[in-house]
Every structure is written in structure tokens, then in C-alpha cells.
């Protein structure tokens, strides 16, 4: 009998101990994350893009791919400060990575104001579809030239500008890309942090583009870019990207961060060059909201062709 009493006490102690362990586990369980937003990126780093050549899937075909950014309250409430005595530079918007998108997603970008430029990748399934759509809707075309990127696990394309190429090979490849989109009036790089940091290779690239009458817009995917210095050396005019709209994400808070940067360019003669991407509808919707807001703020959108007309005939010394 005494043995049964002790056994019952032991069972009760065991049950209490298990309950205490369960409560402790619940308290120590980390809070569940309900979204895919990353930690805020400091502004000085926010416009250095991660070079990823693979587009995000269209949310029309992938469920729960990432949260939908539909709350525009931050955009509506945003109040900007601008010195009235200083003119607002025009805004040039370039959308990268066409060649992957088709269907309603491509159509959505085509329906944007015609001032928005299309940077189209060569050698892809929908390269020609994007070229035809851009021509149909009056968008200027850029060659989105695949270039070697440092440490990239995925190649920028089947053909791309890379270390070890001669000037003849560089010219031949760029000519082949241009043949796919002869209406192009400029070029920028796809990935390219290795290529755009190489002064010898960029000399080949800039001379090859200049022979075709194309201006190079450096997307500034690295802080080590050399194109401005090489362009000055060659006496060739070039351009450089100011803002990546979709870095680190497409949320309204990111859009507001980019809007807050715009007064930094007050009084500048050349346009503010903004780059985004055509990977999915979230990027399209973010761009639509951004365009609506900057027009409301009194900015002018400028086409790539008009922006090129405003460039000096030679680079500054």
C-alpha cells in the first residue's frame, strides 16, 4: 500500500514537471514572422543592387510568393520639402530585364507613360516580343548588355562581356546584340560588377557602343565602376544611375524613402536617372504609384531620347 502511495506521488511529480517544461518551451518559442520584409537598409547602401539575373516569378502564377503591397496610405500622406527657388530636374525612368516578361505583365509596363525606357536583354525567348511592344507603345529601347559579375553563381546570359575578351570580340558581341534591337539608342549593363570595374574592358565596351551611336548608362551595380573616368579619357559622353527604385523591396515605405531622396538633386540640370525592374506585378504596381506621386509633386518625366539631346557633346574635364 505504501508502495502504491509513493508510485502515485511520483506520477503526480512527473506530470507537474512535464507541464512546467511545456510552459517554458512556449515562452521561449520565437515570435513567428508574418511577412518577408528584410531589415531596413541604410540609404547609403540601399541603392547598391544585389546582382541577380533571375527574375522573380509573376505572382499570377505563384501563390504566396511574397506579400502584396497594396496599402498606399504612406504614399498619400507623404509630404515633400522642396526649395521653391530651385528647379526640379526631370526624371528619367529605365525598366531593366525585359526579355523574360510577356503577356499581361509586359502589357502593363507597355501601358506606362511612353517616357519610360525599356532596357531589353538579348538572346531571350521574349526579346523580340519586348522590342515590338516597346516600338508599338513609343518606349525608347536600350540594350541591357549582359556583363560578368563578381562572385555570381549564375551567368548573366549565354553570351556576355567578360574578362579576357579582346576589343574585336567585344565589338562583335555588342554588334550581335544590337542586331536584335536596331531601334536601341543607348545601353546599360545587366549585372556587370566585374566588367564595369575593369578599365581596359570598359574601354572596349564604350568604344564599341560609340561606333553604333549608343550612349552608355552605367547602372552602378558596384562602387568600383570606372565608366565615368574611361568616358572622359575617350571623350565620350556617358550617364550614370542615381536611384534604384526597387531596392531593397517594392513596399510603400521603400517608395517613400526614394521620394525623400529627390530633393538631393534640386537645381541639377541633368535628369534624375531611376532604374527598376520588370520581374513581377509588385514592381509594376510600385512603379505606377511612384510615377503618380512624382507627377503630383510637379516633376516632369523625360524620355531617354530627350535626355540624350540634353547631354553635352563632350564629357566634362
Q: What is the DSSP string of 20-63?
A: HHHHHHHHHSPPPP-S-PPPPPPHHHHTS-----SPPPPTTTST
Contacts for 164 with CB less than 8 Å, ≥ 6 apart: none
Q: In 10 A of CB 173, how many CB atoms?
A: 21
Q: Is the pLDDT of residue 76 over 90?
A: no
Q: What's the pLDDT at 41?
A: 32
Helices assigned H by DSSP within the chain? 2-28, 43-46, 73-77, 103-110, 127-137, 167-180, 199-211, 227-234, 252-261, 281-296, 304-309
Evaluate whether residue 9 is within a structural domain. Answer: no
Residue 90 is given by DSSP the state P
The tally of domains found in the chain comes to: 1
Give the range of the structural domain holding residue 157, as residue numbers without chain letter: 43-55+69-309
- What is the separation of C-alpha 304 from the centre of its chain, rounded to a whole number of angstroms? 17
Phi and psi of 172, rounded to 5°? -60, -40
For a pLDDT cut of 90, what percent of the chain falls above it?
A: 64
Calculated CA dihedral for residues 80, 84, 87, 88, nearest 10 degrees: 10
Contacts for 208 with CB less than 8 Å, ≥ 6 apart: 167, 170, 171, 174, 175
Q: Is the pLDDT of residue 296 over 50?
A: yes
Q: How far apart, in whole angstroms, are the C-alpha atoms of residue 265 and residue 87?
A: 10
Question: What's the pLDDT band for 157 if we cut at 50, 70, 90?
Answer: confident
Q: What's the pLDDT at 80?
A: 73
State mean pLDDT over 39-46.
35
Evaluate whether residue 38 is within a structural domain. Answer: no
DSSP assignment of 283-301 equals: HHHHHHHHHHHHHHTT--B
Evaluate whether residue 314 is within a structural domain. Answer: no
Q: In 10 A of CB 137, how many CB atoms?
A: 16
Contacts for 280 with CB less than 8 Å, ≥ 6 apart: 55, 56, 57, 58, 59, 65, 105
Q: What's the pLDDT at 69?
A: 45
Q: In 10 A of CB 233, how many CB atoms?
A: 13
CA distances from 29 to 16, 22, 36 (A): 20, 11, 19
Evaluate whether residue 24 is within a structural domain. Answer: no
pLDDT digits (tens, 9 = 90+) for 206-244: 999 999 999 999 999 988 999 999 999 999 999 999 999
Strand pairing report for 91-98 and 117-120:
parallel
Q: What's the pLDDT at 52?
A: 44
Q: Is the pLDDT of residue 90 over 80?
A: yes
Residues in a beta bridge with 276: 95
Evaluate whether residue 20 is within a structural domain. Answer: no
Q: Domain containing 83 — which CATH number?
A: 3.20.20.370
Q: Is the pLDDT of residue 271 over 70?
A: yes
User: HSE (CB half, 13 Å, CA atoms) of 182?
Assistant: 1
The H or E element containing residue 186 is strand 186-191
Q: In 10 A of CB 159, how many CB atoms?
A: 14
Contacts for 218 with CB less than 8 Å, ≥ 6 apart: 188, 189, 196, 225, 227, 228, 238, 239, 240, 241
Q: How far apart, in whole angstroms, are the C-alpha atoms of residue 70 and residue 67?
A: 9
> Does the CA dihedral 219-246-276-172 come out positive or negative?
positive
Q: Is the pLDDT of residue 25 over 60?
A: no
pTM for the model stands at 0.79
Evaluate whether residue 166 is within a structural domain. Answer: yes
First-residue to last-residue Cα distance in the chain: 103
Conformational region of residue 267, where left means phi above 0, alpha means psi within -120 to 50, and beta covers everything else: left
Quote the mean pLDDT of the chain.
Answer: 82
Q: What's the pLDDT at 10?
A: 53
Evaluate whether residue 108 is within a structural domain. Answer: yes
Question: What's the pLDDT band for 49 if we cut at 50, 70, 90?
Answer: very low
Q: What's the pLDDT at 44?
A: 37
Evaluate whether residue 4 is within a structural domain. Answer: no
Amino acid at each position: 500500500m505504501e508502495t502504491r502511495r509513493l508510485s502515485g506521488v511520483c506520477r503526480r511529480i512527473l506530470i507537474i514537471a512535464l507541464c512546467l517544461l511545456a510552459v517554458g518551451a512556449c515562452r521561449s518559442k520565437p515570435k513567428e514572422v508574418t511577412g518577408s520584409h528584410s531589415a531596413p537598409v541604410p540609404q547609403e547602401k540601399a541603392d547598391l543592387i544585389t546582382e541577380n539575373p533571375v527574375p522573380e516569378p509573376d505572382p499570377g502564377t505563384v501563390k504566396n510568393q511574397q506579400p502584396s503591397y497594396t496599402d498606399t496610405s504612406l504614399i498619400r500622406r507623404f509630404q515633400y520639402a522642396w526649395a521653391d527657388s530651385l528647379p526640379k530636374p526631370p526624371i528619367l525612368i529605365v525598366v531593366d530585364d525585359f526579355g523574360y516578361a510577356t503577356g499581361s505583365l509586359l502589357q502593363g509596363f507597355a501601358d506606362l507613360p511612353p517616357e519610360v525606357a525599356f532596357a531589353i536583354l538579348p538572346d531571350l525567348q521574349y526579346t523580340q516580343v519586348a522590342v515590338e511592344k516597346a516600338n508599338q507603345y513609343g518606349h525608347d529601347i536600350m540594350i541591357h548588355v549582359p556583363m560578368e559579375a563578381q562572385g555570381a553563381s549564375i551567368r548573366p546570359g549565354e553570351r556576355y562581356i567578360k574578362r579576357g575578351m579582346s576589343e574585336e570580340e567585344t565589338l562583335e558581341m555588342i554588334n550581335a546584340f544590337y542586331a536584335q534591337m536596331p531601334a536601341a539608342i543607348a545601353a546599360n549593363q545587366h549585372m556587370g560588377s566585374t566588367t564595369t570595374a575593369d578599365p581596359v574592358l570598359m574601354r572596349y565596351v564604350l568604344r564599341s557602343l560609340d561606333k553604333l551611336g549608343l550612349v552608355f548608362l552605367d547602372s552602378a551595380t558596384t562602387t568600383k565602376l570606372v565608366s565615368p573616368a574611361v568616358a572622359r579619357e575617350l571623350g565620350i559622353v556617358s550617364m550614370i544611375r542615381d536611384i534604384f527604385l526597387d531596392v531593397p523591396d517594392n513596399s510603400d515605405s521603400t517608395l517613400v524613402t526614394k521620394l525623400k531622396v529627390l530633393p538631393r538633386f534640386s537645381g541639377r540640370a541633368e535628369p534624375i536617372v531611376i532604374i527598376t525592374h520588370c520581374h513581377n506585378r509588385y514592381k509594376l504596381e510600385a512603379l505606377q504609384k511612384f510615377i503618380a506621386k512624382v507627377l503630383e509633386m510637379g516633376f516632369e518625366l523625360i524620355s531617354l531620347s530627350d535626355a540624350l539631346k540634353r547631354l553635352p557633346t563632350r564629357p566634362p574635364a
